Structure 1
Amino acid sequence: MKMVRSITLALAVAAVGYYLFHGLTYVPSDEFDSVVFGWVGWQMSLPIIAITSVIVVFAFTGEGIVAALTGRNSSEFRDGLTGLGTIESFAQTGLTLNDQPQVRVEFSVEGADGKIFHSSAKMIVPLTQLALLRPGVVLPVRYLPDRTDKVEVDLSGDASAAQQALNESLIRKGITTQHKLDIAERGIATQAVVRSLSVTGTIRDGHSEVELGLVVTRPDGLSFATRVTKFLAPGSVGQVQVGRILRAHYLPENESEVVIALPVNA
C-alpha cells in the first residue's frame, strides 16, 4: 500500500509539474495565439486527473479499507503473529464505505510470548455488527513483533491458530492446564446439567474459582454425577447457573475428570 501511494504521489507531482512547466514556458506561435493557450488545453486534464487519483488511491488504501473490500488481511499482517486483543474502547472515525462506518478500536493485546501491549486497529464494521463491539470482547489479532502500535483483526478464518493462542494464554495464567485441554480435544463430547454452584473464594487473574456439581450424560443415555472446579471471568458466571445445560467432554476411563466448554465472548 505504501508503494502504491508513493507511485501515485510521484505521478501526480510529475503531472502537475508538467502542467506548470508547459504554462510558464509556452511561447505563442503567431499573432492569433496567446500565452493563455499555454494553460488551456489537453494539459489541463493532468492536474485534475492527478488530484483525483491521489484522493481515490489514498481512500481505498486506508487502514481497514482493503480488508473490507477483499475480506483478507493486508499483505503486511497476513503472516503476522496471532495474539489476543481485548477491546478497551472504540470510536467511529467518520469515514464510511458503502454506508458502513470505519471504526478505530483500542486493544490491550496479549502476544504469543505472553507480553501485554497497547495497540489499535481501524476496520470497516457493518452496522448490524457494530453492537457486538464492546469493552471486554476478545478478538484474535495479527501483529508484527517489531511494530506493536498497530494490529489487524485476524481475517484468515484459521480458528485453530486463534484457539491455540487462547489455550496458551489460559495455561500461562493458570486458568487451565494442558491435561484439561487434552481431555477437551480427545474426550467424548456430551452434555452436562449444572446441579449445584459454589464459589471457593480463590481469584486468579481476575477469574473466580467456582465448584460445579454436574450430572453428565453418557452416549448410552445413562448419566453420572461429578464435581469440577473452573476459573471463570465475571461475565461467564451467568452461564453456569443451576439448571443450565453445558457442553462437556470426558474420558470414559476416568469419569471424575470432566471439562466444560464456554464461549469466550458471551
Structure 2
Amino acid sequence: MIRTLRTLALAGAVLAVGCYLWHGLTYEPGPYEPDYLAWLNGYLALPFTALTVVVTVFAFTGAGVVTALTGRNTGDFRNAPMGLGTVKSFGHTGVSVNDQPQIRIEFSVEGTDGKVFDAAAKMVVPLTELALLAPGVVLPVRYRPDRPGIVELDLSGDSTAAQRVMNESLIRKGFTTQEKVDIAARGIAAQAVVQSLTVPGEIRDGYSKVAVGLAVTRPDGSIFTTRSEKFLPPSAIGNVQVGRIVTAHYLPENEQEVVLSIPVNA
C-alpha cells in the first residue's frame, strides 16, 4: 500500500511537470502577449502542487508514521514472522505526529530460528509511555527475513502468539522445558509466598539460576510448600526476594512441580 501511494504520487508529479513543460514549449503568444507568459501562467501551479503532494505522501508514509495513524502494522510486516526484540538504545528522530515524538529504537532481535541480528524500528511513542523504553526491555517485533535490518513493533495485540515466541526462545536457551510451559498453560494459578532464596551461581546468557522456596495457597485456602528453580535476568531478582508474593502455576496431581510467572520486563 505504501509503495503504491508513493508510486502514484511520483507518477502524478511527472505528469504535472510534463504538462507544464509541454505548455511552455508549445505556447504561441498572441500579438499583445509577452513571451514570458509561456512559463509564467496558471500551469506553473502544477509542479508546485505536485512537489507538495510528493513531500506530504512520503512524510506520512514514513517508517512509524503509518502505524501511528492506523494503529496497525504496515502491509509489509502485518503477516511477517514474530521475533523478540531486546532494546539496545533509542533516540528521537526529530519528527513528531500530533505532538508525539517519533523514536528510533535499536534492537537485538532473536528470530523464530533462534538466530540473533541487529535491527532498528521507528515508531511514534506517546510521551506518557517513553519511560517504559529502556535498554534491556524485551518487546515482540515483526521482521522480514529478506530485510533483517528493519523491524516493526508487533501491533496485532496477539498475546498468545507473543507468549508462544517467548516460550520457544526460553526452551531453546535451556531456561525452561516444554513440561513447564504446559504447566504454566494448563495449571492452577495460585498465590505463593517466597520463603527462601538461594543462588547456585549458574549463569546462562546473562540470566542467573535461582532456587526459590515457596508456600503455595491452594484454592481452598490450604497451603503446601515446595521448591522451584528458574533462570532470571538481574533486573527480576527483586521479584523473588523472601517475603514477596508471586504467582505460581501447578497441577493438582503434582504439586511439587511449580512454575513461577515473572513478567519478562520486571
TM-score greater than 0.5 by the shorter chain? yes
Deviation at residue 253 of structure 1 after TM alignment: 1.1
Q: Name the CA distance, whole Å, in 2 between partners of 1:148 and 1:245.
A: 41
Q: 2:114 maps to which residue? A: 114
TM-score normalised per structure 1? 0.97
RMSD, aligned α-carbons: 1.0
Q: Name the CA distance, whole Å, in 1 between partners of 2:43 and 2:12.
A: 14
Matched, 1:17 2:39: no
Paired residues for 1:144-155 under 5 Å: 144-155=144-155
Q: 1:211 maps to which residue? A: 211
Q: 1:166 maps to which residue? A: 166
SS of 1:201 mapped into structure 2: coil
Q: Name the CA distance, whole Å, in 1 between partners of 2:35 and 2:19.
A: 16
SS of 2:75 mapped into structure 1: coil
Q: Name the CA distance, whole Å, in 1 between partners of 2:206 and 2:40.
A: 70
| Matched residue type, 2:18 | G
TM-score normalised per structure 2? 0.97
Q: 1:142 maps to which residue? A: 142
Deviation at residue 39 of structure 1 after TM alignment: 2.2
Q: 1:229 maps to which residue? A: 229
Deviation at residue 25 of structure 1 after TM alignment: 3.1
> What is the percentage of aligned positions where both structures have the same residue?
62
SS of 1:135 mapped into structure 2: coil
Worse-superposed segment, 11-20 or 180-189: 11-20
SS of 2:79 mapped into structure 1: coil
SS of 1:169 mapped into structure 2: helix
Q: Name the CA distance, whole Å, in 2 between partners of 1:227 and 1:176.
A: 15
Q: Name the CA distance, whole Å, in 2 between partners of 1:4 and 1:229.
A: 53
Q: 1:8 maps to which residue? A: 9
SS of 2:156 mapped into structure 1: coil
Q: 1:101 maps to which residue? A: 101
Runs ≥4 residues deviating over 2 A: 39-42
Q: Name the CA distance, whole Å, in 2 between partners of 1:81 and 1:247.
A: 30
SS of 2:77 mapped into structure 1: coil
| Matched residue type, 1:28 | P
Q: Name the CA distance, whole Å, in 1 between partners of 2:209 and 2:9.
A: 57
SS of 1:180 mapped into structure 2: helix
Q: Structure 1, unaligned stretches of length 5 or more?
A: none
Paired residues for 1:193-204 under 5 Å: 193-204=193-204
Deviation at residue 231 of structure 1 after TM alignment: 0.9
Q: 2:246 maps to which residue? A: 246
Q: Name the CA distance, whole Å, in 2 between partners of 1:108 and 1:154.
A: 15
Q: Name the CA distance, whole Å, in 1 between partners of 2:25 and 2:99.
A: 44
Q: Name the CA distance, whole Å, in 1 between partners of 2:183 and 2:12.
A: 60
| Matched residue type, 2:27 | Y
Paired residues for 1:50-69 under 5 Å: 50-69=50-69
Q: Name the CA distance, whole Å, in 2 between partners of 1:127 and 1:204.
A: 35
Q: Name the CA distance, whole Å, in 2 between partners of 1:219 and 1:66.
A: 47
Deviation at residue 133 of structure 1 after TM alignment: 1.0
Count of residues in Structure 1 that have an aligned counterpart in Structure 2: 265
Deviation at residue 14 of structure 1 after TM alignment: 2.0
What's the CA shift string for 1:147-174, capped at 9, x where partnerless? Answer: 1011110000011111000000000000
Deviation at residue 20 of structure 1 after TM alignment: 2.6
Q: Name the CA distance, whole Å, in 2 between partners of 1:125 and 1:20.
A: 44
SS of 2:201 mapped into structure 1: strand
Deviation at residue 42 of structure 1 after TM alignment: 2.4
Deviation at residue 6 of structure 1 after TM alignment: 1.9
Q: Name the CA distance, whole Å, in 1 between partners of 2:29 and 2:253.
A: 98
| Matched residue type, 2:11 | A
SS of 1:28 mapped into structure 2: coil
| Matched residue type, 2:151 | V
Q: Name the CA distance, whole Å, in 2 between partners of 1:194 and 1:129.
A: 31
Deviation at residue 9 of structure 1 after TM alignment: 1.2
